[in-house]
Amino acid sequence: MKEGKLKNIFVQGSITASFIADSIQKHSSKTGIGGHSIFLGQVRTDEINGKKVAAIEYTSYEEMALQKMHEIREAIFVKYELTCMHVYHSLGKVPAGEICLFVFTSSPHRKAAIEACSELVEKIKAELPVWGAELFEDNSHQWKVNQ
Amino acid sequence: MKTDILLFGQLAEQVGAKQISLEGFSDSETLIKALQQQYPVLSQSKYIVAINQEIISGNTALSDNSIVALLPPFSGG
């Protein structure tokens, strides 16, 4: 069975610009870092059959998602020479235009950070049990499909 | 023998419940068949199955208090 405490990645609601700025600032003491790579996912105002997406509401099978994220994290640390890695994903409602995913990798040289960040984003979208309901302005909704 | 079934996303919405408990099932295939009979909407839905957070492929034995999760296509990020 699952052991130990898994690192939480979930944030209630939007991920704020100040949270992201603080996260960057915290790395100033890690002077072995030569490059950061950051991916920010933003809720897009898709228009479907004339109706605009006003927000996405995220839910997750949290225990399984955190376990899966732990496995992804371990594999990425083995594959790339990273100094650190941070992942945050929203739960609950995130309005269009706001940030719902924050992936942040750092390494002594840029390539590892960039490639690890990109691979992490793909894995997060494909492998984490998270679901997004696209909420329209008229209060109806549909379930998001990842491309 | 008790099995807890967790439903997520559109499946929870279609079935109208996030959790169901059923008694007397010893493998995933018969459990899923019974669920599909009780909730016909499940027959038309796309999902994968996890037992105790591990995704399964094919019929898998259940033990007492297994947690079976029906997971529609992921759409995080």
For the domain bounded by A32-143, which CATH number is listed? 3.90.1170.40
Domain ranges in chain A?
32-143
Residue A3 reports pLDDT greater than 60: no
Interface contacts (A, B; CB < 8 Å): 66
Residue A5 reports pLDDT greater than 90: no
Q: What is the pLDDT of residues B12-59, one digit of tens each?
A: 999 999 999 999 999 999 999 999 999 999 999 999 999 999 999 999
Q: Out of B9, B53, B73, name the one closest to residue A64 (CB).
A: B53
Q: What is the pLDDT of residues A92-121, one digit of tens each?
A: 999 999 999 999 999 999 999 999 999 999
CATH architecture type of domain B2-71: Roll (3.10)
- Exposed/middle/buried for residue A100 (C-beta within 10 Å: 0-12, 13-18, 19+): buried
User: Which chain A residues touch B69 with a CB distance below 8 Å?
Assistant: 61, 64, 129
Taking a C-beta distance cutoff of 8 angstroms, is the pair A66, A22 a contact?
Answer: no
Report residue A73 as tokens: 């994290």
Q: What is the pLDDT of residues A13-42, one digit of tens each?
A: 999 999 999 999 999 999 999 999 999 999
Domain ranges in chain B?
2-71
Taking a C-beta distance cutoff of 8 angstroms, is the pair A113, A65 a contact?
Answer: no
